[in-house]
């Protein structure tokens, strides 16, 4: 009887190992795995610095994983606003687009986010294929009211040495992009095919960046009738395509569990957004469609009064950082905030 019990325990232990292999593919606004593994401000802060945040002025930022993977799934981009004021805030075009900081060539209508992979499993296992479709529905369908939309979303693979030569492709763009990556881990120069455990996306190698998505905001026209849209919010989703997401190993690997994104700090098992894109004007803390207005001042000047290098959150950092130095509401930011306040409302 004791042998039977031990045998059952051994089977249970083996089953736990068999079900252990998992690949999580997720987006993050941060450009390095190190920034996700060791989060730093602003990705360790959630609360708005605006005293009037409970009344819709100022923006909190949701944190579920103390700043780690799953807490960088929001990104912001400004619509293009053309050339309506000069750098003094006068309504005189000066040849510089008004979504661009005049001091250091920082363009608010451009931003990026990144696709990462985290493969956990049997030692020696390798991801043999990743086939996913990236969809951003509605973000390019401006129709008759193109106020808060995207001009483009361009996906580029990075760390392509993880894949076999000629083993990658990116097709489509903008609303739907198809990504395919293949690795055939066979040692070169051997008498017969031999598994190579030193190549590719290997198990337990940590978070690895595999693609970059570059966003461009669309031009926002100005007109006499106020637009119905105040901010554009678009969900990005990843789904497996016909290539499939697979792993391989010298010894048959366990079944691979696949997750796409995180939800409330844990790998997502449903169809929740994998990244959320906001098309929003710089300085628009109350999300009413226009930046640097009277209500926005309450948030901006609270940030100016209370912000240090460690206590603003990512959303308010972006809204109040006009020169792209990572610090909101500093001297150059104040100059551009004043300039933004004079841009005519759409």
pLDDT tens readout for residues 112-125: 999 999 999 999 99
Instruction: Tell me the C-alpha distance between 256 and 120, whole Å.
Output: 10
Over residues 267-286, the mean pLDDT reads 96
Q: Tell whether the model's pLDDT for residue 17 goes beyond 70.
A: no
> Three-state SS for 219?
strand
pLDDT of residue 168 exceeding 60, the answer is yes
User: Who contacts 155 (Cβ-Cβ below 8 Å, separation ≥6)?
Assistant: 115, 134, 170, 173, 177, 179, 211, 212, 213, 214
Q: For residue 224, what pLDDT is reported?
A: 53
Considering 3-7, 12-16, 117-121, 253-257, the range whose residues carry the highest mean pLDDT is 117-121
Task: Tell me the C-alpha distance between 110 and 99, whole Å.
Answer: 9
Distances (CA, A) of 29 to 10, 23, 72, 105, 276: 43, 19, 5, 21, 10
Count of domains forming the chain = 1
Residue 3 pLDDT exceeds 50? no
* pLDDT of res. 4: 35
Position 72 pLDDT exceeds 90: yes
Q: Is residue 100 part of a domain?
A: yes
What mean pLDDT do residues 224-247 have?
A: 87
Beta bridge partners of 110: 216
Please check whether residue 164 lies inside any domain of the structure.
yes
Whether residue 8 is contained in a domain is answered as no
Give the pLDDT confidence score for residue 2 in this predicted structure.
Answer: 38
177 assigned to some structural domain: yes
Task: Tell me if 115 sits within 8 A of 209, measured CB to CB.
Answer: yes
- The full 3-state SS of 177-211, as one line of letters, equals EEEEEECCCECCCCCCCCECCCCCCECCCCEEEEE
Instruction: Write down the residue that tokens 């489509």 correspond to.
Output: 172
**Quick one: pLDDT at residue 223?**
57
Provide the CB-side half-sphere exposure for 247 (13 A, CA).
Answer: 31
Q: What are phi and psi of 304, to 5 degrees?
A: -60, -35
Question: pLDDT at residue 18 above 50?
Answer: no
In three-state secondary structure terms, 243 is: coil
3-class DSSP string for 251-315 = CCCCCCEEEECEECCEECCCCCCCEEEEECCCCCCCCCCCCCCHHHHHHHHHHHHHCCCCCCCHH
pLDDT at 226: 58
Q: In this model, does residue 340 exceed pLDDT 50?
A: yes
pLDDT at residue number 292? 94
Q: Which of 8-17, 18-27, 119-128, 219-228 bottoms out in mean pLDDT, i.e. has the lowest?
A: 8-17
- Using CA atoms, how far apart are residues 345 and 108, in angstroms rounded to an integer? 17
Position 7 scores a pLDDT of: 36
Q: Residue 222: its pLDDT value, please?
A: 65
Least confident of 138-142, 176-180, 320-324: 138-142
Q: Among residues of the chain, what percentage have pLDDT more than 90? A: 75
Residue 211 included in any domain: yes
- pLDDT band with cut points at 50, 70 and 90 for residue 341: very high
Predicted pLDDT of residue 193: 82
Least confident of 33-42, 52-61, 149-158, 219-228: 219-228
Over residues 238-246, the mean pLDDT reads 97
In a domain, 69, yes or no: yes
**Domain limits for position 327:** 20-341
Q: Determine how many CB atoms are found less than 10 A away from the CB of residue 294.
A: 8
107: left (phi over 0), alpha (psi -120 to 50) or beta: beta
* pLDDT attached to residue 227: 60
- Identify the CA nearest to 181 among candidates 160, 197, 198, 207: 160
Percent of the chain with pLDDT over 70: 90
Cis peptide before 42 (omega within 30 of 0): yes
Least confident of 32-46, 86-100, 133-147, 230-244: 133-147
Beta-carbon contacts of residue 9 (< 8 Å; ≥ 6 apart): none
Strands 110-120, 207-217: pairing kind: antiparallel
Q: What is the mean pLDDT of residues 143-164?
A: 91
Window from 13-27, 68-82, 169-183, 279-293 with minimum mean pLDDT = 13-27
Confidence of residue 150 (pLDDT cuts 50, 70, 90): very high
What's the pTM? 0.91
305 in any annotated domain: yes
Instruction: Region of 182 please: left (phi>0), alpha (psi -120 to 50) or beta.
Output: beta
Show the tokens assigned to 202.
Answer: 């290997």
Judge whether 21 and 124 are in contact, CB under 8 Å. Answer: no
* pLDDT tier at 103, thresholds 50, 70, 90: confident
- 246-247-251 Cα angle (round to 5): 145
Give the position of tokens 């479709």: 133
Report yes or no on 68 lying in a domain.
yes
């Amino acid at each position: 009887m004791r042998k039977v019990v031990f045998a059952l325990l051994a089977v249970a232990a083996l089953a736990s190992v068999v079900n252990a292999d998992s690949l999580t593919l997720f987006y993050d606004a941060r450009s390095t795995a190190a920034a996700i593994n060791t989060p730093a401000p602003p990705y360790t802060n959630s609360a708005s610095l605006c005293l009037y945040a409970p009344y819709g002025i100022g923006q909190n930022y949701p944190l579920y994983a103390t700043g780690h993977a799953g807490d960088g799934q929001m990104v912001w981009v400004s619509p293009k606003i053309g050339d309506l004021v000069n750098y003094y805030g006068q309504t005189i075009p000066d040849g510089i687009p008004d979504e661009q900081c005049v001091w250091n060539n920082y363009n608010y209508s451009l931003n990026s986010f990144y696709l990462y992979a985290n493969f956990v499993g049997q030692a020696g296992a390798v991801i043999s294929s990743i086939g996913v479709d990236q969809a951003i529905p509605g973000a390019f369908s401006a129709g008759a009211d193109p106020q808060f939309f995207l001009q483009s979303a361009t996906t580029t693979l990075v760390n392509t040495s993880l894949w076999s030569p000629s083993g990658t492709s990116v097709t489509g763009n903008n609303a739907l992009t198809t990504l395919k990556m293949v690795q055939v881990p066979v040692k070169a120069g051997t008498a017969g095919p031999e598994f190579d455990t030193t190549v590719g996306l290997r198990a337990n190698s940590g978070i690895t960046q595999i693609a970059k998505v570059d966003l461009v905001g669309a031009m926002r026209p100005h007109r006499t009738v106020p637009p119905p849209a105040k901010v554009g919010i678009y969900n990005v989703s990843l789904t497996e395509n016909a290539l499939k997401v697979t792993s391989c190993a010298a010894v048959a690997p366990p079944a691979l569990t696949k997750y796409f994104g995180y939800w409330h700090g844990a790998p997502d098992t449903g169809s929740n957004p994998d990244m959320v894109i906001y098309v929003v004007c710089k300085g628009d803390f109350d999300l009413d469609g226009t930046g640097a207005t009277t209500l926005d001042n309450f948030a901006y000047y609270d940030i100016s009064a209370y912000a240090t290098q460690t206590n603003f959150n990512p959303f308010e950092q972006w809204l109040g950082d006009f020169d792209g130095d990572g610090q909101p509401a500093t001297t150059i930011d104040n100059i551009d905030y004043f300039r933004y306040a004079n841009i005519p409302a759409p």
